[in-house]
Structure 1
Amino acid sequence: MTNPLDFTGKRVVVIGGSSGIGNGMAQEFRKAGADVLVTGTRPDSGDYLEAEDSDFTSLSYAQLDLNDRDAAEGLAAKLGPVDIVIQSQGTVRYSRGEFQREGWDAVVDVNLNSVMDVARAFHPKLTEADGSMIVISSVAGFKANIGNPAYSASKAGAVSLVKTLGAAWARDGIRVNGIAPGLVPTKLTTVTTDHPERLEGALSQIPLRRLGTAEDMAGAAMFLASPLASYMTGQTLVVDGGLTLS
């Protein structure tokens, strides 16, 4: 019997796969046999090895700055066939920076505008492959996130975009789904995870009483990209240890 989670022969592109959740997902797909390309903003993957807890073993790397609205099309044009695109790019501004126009624009550009830019750029390749796209949003897209209006609004927008593209692109053979992680240790969440009192308070709100991991998110992504989820599109899976249950 064929293993539905065997991705041998599949080409996976992980946008924002140079660190954090995206990097963890990239490694799990690689272990499952896929040929995986990750992108990051720095010129070379080696630039991440000291500053980030990243693993580039057997991964390909491409620099991609999504502040350039045409960059995703340029990357897609250079690549051959692509079966799966995972969008894991993201940013946040703390200290109420998102209430200012500059902070708002910067966060929305990365967390929402670039998601559509990437989707548009890879649409032809995913059509050819009857492929799958997975958008990583956040549980912040389902609730108020005091202090971060752009982050919450952009993640809510990403959840809505998954629904719309899932419906619009089904006719092209493309399945579009998403994952909304809860609290996972990344460079964006150190404001909580690196402060014991804040972390203790956060864990008290999570029924499973632990942080999420990149591997937790990768398991959901592999399911969504596999034949096991062949009748799913437009859905965002909440993977949060029960955080949003109360």
Structure 2
Amino acid sequence: MKEALDFTGRTVLVVGGSSGIGNGIAQAFRAHGAAVHVWGTRASAADYKADEGSDMTGLEYTQMDVSDFAAIEAHKPPFATLDVLVLAQGTVIYRKGEFRMDGFTKVMDVNLNSLMACALKFRDMLAAAKGSLITISSTAAYHSTRGNPAYNASKTGAVGLTRTLAEAWAGEGIRVNGIAPGLVDTKLTKVTTENPERLAASLQNIPLGRLGTPADMAGVVLFLASPLSAYVVGQTLPVDGGLIL
């Protein structure tokens, strides 16, 4: 069991690994021996602060706008092999901003279209390594989110993309799976976590009675990237404390 979660000698890229869930995943892989690279939107790793939920210790950082698909295609990665690709990028626009086409398109490009751009970019490396591709969707994929049509559509689309790439690429040795986090305490959920009434109402719907943490998400991602899940293909596992039960 312990050996199955040893990623020593493995290379991992976490897109969106500079903060939030992605950062927790990146640090978990580093703690288990991997050489971990992360992509983020800011100019340098020093631009991320611990009080914002970022720990860049020991991570190799690259700035990348994932909505710029040409930039992804042209990127020359600083590693020659890749064993695990985690696609944790995500954004949301509140105050009805996703009901305008510019806002809708922005969220779809970051949350869904960039998943395909990144998957295509690193497909050959993952096939050579018989590696794992892991998407980070959301339990929003399983119910409506009235104020955020693009967020919902993109996360629902991520589940479908995960299934389809899994079937398409399994023969190449690439295992594609995903997780669907519930309510996790990150900067994207502050509209809920910093509103006492909204937070209390949300916690009532979570059987475990607490928010999720990036570490909760990271444990399941480590499992999906390890030999422990060698026969798991195309699945998106809810990691939500029972929220969608």
> Where does structure 1 lack aligned partners over 5 or more consecutive residues?
none
**CA–CA distance in structure 2, aligned partners of residues 110 and 239 of structure 1:** 22
| Identical-pair percentage | 57
Q: Establish whether residue 127 from structure 1 lines up as the match of residue 127 from structure 2.
A: yes
Query: What is the aligned partner in structure 1 of residue 33 from structure 2?
Result: 33
TM-score by length of 1: 0.97
* Cα shift at 1:3: 1.2
Aligned mates of 2:220, 2:102 — CA distance in 1 = 34
Q: Which amino acid aligns with 1:26?
A: A
Deviation of 1:61 (Å): 0.6
| Conserved 8 A contact 2:135-2:179 | yes
Name the TM-score, length of structure 2 as normaliser.
Answer: 0.97
Alignment of 1:54-203 (within 5 A): 54-75=54-75, 77-203=77-203
Classify the secondary structure of the residue corresponding to 1:176.
strand
Superposition deviation, residue 112 in structure 1: 0.5
Give runs of aligned pairs for residues 12-27 of structure 1, distance below 5 A.
12-27=12-27
How many Å apart are 1:77 and its aligned residue? 4.6
Q: Which runs of 5 or more structure 2 residues have no equivalent in the other structure?
A: none
Give the secondary-structure state (helix, strand or coil) at the position aligned to 1:61.
strand
1:177-229 CA-partner distances (Å, limit 9, x unpaired): 00000000111100000111110000000000000000000000000000000
Q: Kindly state the Cα deviation for residue 51 of structure 1 after the two structures are TM-superposed.
A: 6.5
SS of equivalent to 1:244: coil
**Equivalent position amino acid for 1:49 in 2:** K
- Structure 1 residue 2, shift from structure 2 partner: 6.3
CA distance in 2, matches of 1:219, 1:242: 16
Separation in 2, partners of 1:143, 1:160: 15
Quick one: distance in 1 between partners of 2:50 and 2:223?
Answer: 32
Aligned length: 245
How far does the alpha carbon of each residue in 1:46-97 deviate from its partner, in whole angstroms, 9 at most, with x for none?
0112672211111111111112112222335543100000000000011111
* Alignment CA distance shift 1:50-1:231 (3 Å): closer
Aligned letter for 2:180?
A: A
Amino acid at match of 2:170: A
Q: Per-residue deviation at 1:232?
A: 0.8
State whether residues 7 and 34 of structure 1, in contact with CA within 8 Å, keep that contact through their aligned partners in structure 2: yes
* Distance in 1 separating the partners of 2:135 and 2:236: 8
Partner Cα separation in structure 2 for residue 204 and residue 71 of structure 1: 43
Query: Is the Cα–Cα contact under 8 Å of residues 104 and 150 in structure 1 kept in the other structure?
Result: yes
Deviation digits for residues 96-115 of structure 1 (CA, Å, limit 9, x no counterpart): 11111111001000001000
CA drift at 1:32: 0.4
Per-residue Cα deviation, 1:13-51 (whole angstroms, up to 9, x for no partner): 000000000000111110000000011011101011267
3-state SS of the aligned residue for 2:3? coil
Which residue does the alignment assign to 1:220? Answer: 220
Structure 2 equivalent of residue 7 of structure 1: 7
- Structure 1 counterpart of 2:147, one-letter code: G
Aligned-partner Cα distance in 2 for 1:76–1:238: 33
Query: Partners in 1 of 2:2 and 2:54 — Cα distance?
Result: 31
Whether the 8 Å contact between 2:14 and 2:87 is mirrored in structure 1 is yes
Runs ≥4 residues deviating over 4 A: none
Calculate the aligned-residue CA RMSD, in Å. 1.2
Distance 2:78 2:20 in 1: 25
- Name the amino acid aligned to 1:170: A
